[in-house]
Chains A and B, each alone.
Chain A
Amino acid sequence: MAQVSLHHVGKSFEGQKVVKGLDLVIPNGSFTVLVGPSGCGKSTTLRMIAGLENVTEGEIWIGEKKVNDVPPGKRDLAMVFQNYALYPTMSVFENIAFGLQNRGVPKQERKRLVAEIAEVVGLTPYLDRKPSQLSGGQRQRVALARAMVKKPQVFLMDEPLSNLDAKLRSQMRIELTSLHKQLGSTFIYVTHDQVEAMTMGDQIVVMNEGVIQQVASPISLYHDPENLFVAQFIGSPPMNIIHAQGTEAEHIGFRPEKVKLRSMAKEITSTAALKLEGRVITREILGSEVLYYLDTNRGRIIAKSSADEFIEEGILVELSVEEKDLYRFDKESGARVRHESIRLATGEQLGGIVS
């Protein structure tokens, strides 16, 4: 177990900066998820921690040791790759034992350790097989076993579930989180899937264009985003944003589940801060909930509501959101603006379709 710290870490490829001045502390024993869209620098960051990429600037510390110039094998970490990177010519046993062999672990001890790990991940019947004879899920387990058997201080995982089908992925998510609890090691996990990040991480690092946007727990990331990017990246469907127009200084955001829909025919008594009129374009029934896609004069809005009551497509409805559920973001920087008082709530100000 060890804390991993990044001090002003940067990386450039052929003069192009892909990671810019990262300052990040990954606490000992945490399950930290680096999440962001493709090309945001999350995998590069992970690879720099692993030692597979050189650091252009800054320092990386694992525990009490600066590791900038330490080769990957001596950083006391293990990595699970996106496509597993198993050794195709070796059997499952040899794959798991290879790291131990290189560390000079005696043969008998190697056998014992591999058997132990194989039991944990359910690979005992497959030890003699080659990776090509295994299913995707089994290969994933070999990759995990290979990492676990070394008992590293830090586990690095680079989108390890992206090659699995949806069912197996959700199963492996649970297995990985329980494995983390069991081992208590530091896990650093890279994904572009915010659902994976939210369900697995206890600390989430949202990245975009090589810069950290926010570091927080899943709950506070969802309820208290620091900026427009995080607000839109986290949550499925994403937060609705009403972009500032004309003299308006701020963009306004609200979560789809916070939108209240009301048929226009009914009398309006709501005291909501934001009111819009919209027409249901289409709807998606998710089971217990329904997603409504609505066209308003401030753009497309998604509303999520219980499936107890359906609104038909083509119907004109009133959308309302309470003040406490509104988020405001600076028009220029996209940074969150936190007001004490209500400023932007009337229909007129929103270009609105009045209540």
Chain B
Amino acid sequence: MREPSAVAESSPVAVTQVQEQTRPWSETLRPYLYVAPALLFFALFFFYPIVYMIYLSFQDWTLLNLEEMEWVGLDNFSTLFSDPDFHLVLKNTLIYTFLTVFLGIAIAFFLALWLNRKAKIYGLVQGAIFSPHIISLVSVSMLWMWLMDPQYGLLNAMLESVGLPPSTWLADPGTALYSLVLVSVWKVVGYNTLIFIAGLQSIPQDIYESAALDRSPAWRTLYKITIPMLSPTIFFLLVINTISSFQVFDTIYIMTQGGPVNSTNMLVYYIYEQGMDFYNGGIASAASVVLLGLAGVLTLFHFLFLAKRVHYR
């Protein structure tokens, strides 16, 4: 009876092995229990809706009668892709996203370079530029609708005062999309500038001093030092601005309702229209799947091709 315990005492290695082999199931389960609430939350609110949306895209259904769902396979997708309006919507979304992201980042970058100084006035300007970000989009939209009013708007009054021809802004299919781009760039620039300023301030000053001693001209310092050092910031803004531009809805809903003649209709508004106005639940779901796919592909593109150029310190 005494022998096994004697062996165990004299050989601690053997004891550990034995313990490992017979680890109680409660201990194996414990880490999973710890992450279970988070996993459950994720599954319920992120994973399930996506899967259910994909499922819905293969059904013919409307919000009015959820009982009568009918499996139609890829019919919704073929209807969607043969709809010329949807082509226009895709084109609008891509133009809008490209312009908003490009202008929003480029303008913010140069503003940040200008504002990254120590004086009260720069702090005030920073605050002023950031303020659109904290104003609700509904207010922003109402404000810009007035500014862009072809007859009574401030923008046209300003153009006329300097002798330039007035613009039709939101009223013309040729200018409406660009007017929306203007509004969203105006709103996003403050946030982007703030992030850029934070990025600029984290670049050690002595690198610039070193560059000055190396006789580096300003443009080369910008191109060879500042931009590479800001690459993580640029990458971050690129990803979040692209995703949020893809999902634009509020400004369209309030300012143009997709018009005139669908010139400002974009993916999320199109989905809303199909689902809520035309009761085409299936088409709306299929368009949502396309939106998810596009945003996914673009994000993947960013991570696969641009992330390599990002320098993390």
Q: List A residues at the B interface (Cβ < 8 Å).
A: 50-52, 71-74, 77-79, 81, 83, 85-90, 98-99, 102-103, 132, 146, 150
Please, which residue of chain A has its CB at the minimum distance from the CB of B312?
A: A132
CB contacts (< 8 Å) of B228 on chain A: these are 89
List, sorted by A's number, 27 A–B pairs whose CB atoms are closer than 8 Å: A50-B209, A51-B213, A52-B212, A52-B213, A73-B213, A73-B214, A73-B215, A74-B215, A83-B204, A85-B206, A85-B209, A85-B210, A86-B207, A86-B210, A87-B211, A87-B224, A88-B311, A90-B224, A98-B211, A98-B216, A98-B224, A99-B215, A102-B214, A102-B216, A132-B313, A146-B210, A150-B214
Asked if residues A81 and B210 are in contact (CB atoms below 8 Å), the reply is: yes
CB contacts (< 8 Å) of A132 on chain B: these are 313
Shortest CB-to-CB span from B202 to chain A, Å, is 12
Docked Cα-Cα span, A51 to B217, in Å, equals 16
Shortest CB-to-CB span from A87 to chain B, Å, is 6
Please, which residue of chain A has its CB at the minimum distance from the CB of B217?
A: A102
CB contacts (< 8 Å) of A77 on chain B: these are 213
Docked Cα-Cα span, A314 to B209, in Å, equals 56
Beyond A83-B204, A89-B225, 5 additional contacts (C-beta under 8 Å) are A51-B213, A72-B212, A79-B209, A99-B215, A102-B214
Most buried by B among A50, A81, A132, A150: A81
Asked if residues A89 and B213 are in contact (CB atoms below 8 Å), the reply is: no
Asked if residues B313 and A79 are in contact (CB atoms below 8 Å), the reply is: no
Tell me if B220 counts as interface (CB < 8 A to partner A).
yes
Chain B positions 151-200 with a Cβ under 8 Å from a chain A Cβ:
none
Asked if residues A78 and B224 are in contact (CB atoms below 8 Å), the reply is: no
Please, which residue of chain B has its CB at the minimum distance from the CB of A132?
A: B313
Q: List B residues at the A interface (Cβ < 8 Å).
A: 204, 206-207, 209-217, 220, 224-225, 228-229, 231, 311, 313
CB contacts (< 8 Å) of B220 on chain A: these are 102
Pick the contact of B225: A78, A79, A87, A103 (CB < 8 A): A87
Asked if residues A73 and B206 are in contact (CB atoms below 8 Å), the reply is: no
Asked if residues B225 and A72 are in contact (CB atoms below 8 Å), the reply is: no
Please, which residue of chain A has its CB at the minimum distance from the CB of B212?
A: A72
CB contacts (< 8 Å) of B229 on chain A: these are 88-89
CB contacts (< 8 Å) of B206 on chain A: these are 81, 83, 85
Pick the contact of B210: A51, A79, A103 (CB < 8 A): A79
Docked Cα-Cα span, A115 to B216, in Å, equals 21
Please, which residue of chain A has its CB at the minimum distance from the CB of B228?
A: A89
CB contacts (< 8 Å) of B213 on chain A: these are 50-52, 72-73, 77-79, 99
Asked if residues A102 and B215 are in contact (CB atoms below 8 Å), the reply is: yes
Please, which residue of chain A has its CB at the minimum distance from the CB of B213?
A: A72
Shortest CB-to-CB span from A93 to chain B, Å, is 14
Docked Cα-Cα span, A202 to B209, in Å, equals 28
Shortest CB-to-CB span from B91 to chain A, Å, is 37
CB contacts (< 8 Å) of A98 on chain B: these are 211, 214, 216, 224
Shortest CB-to-CB span from B283 to chain A, Å, is 48
CB contacts (< 8 Å) of A99 on chain B: these are 213-215
Shortest CB-to-CB span from B212 to chain A, Å, is 5
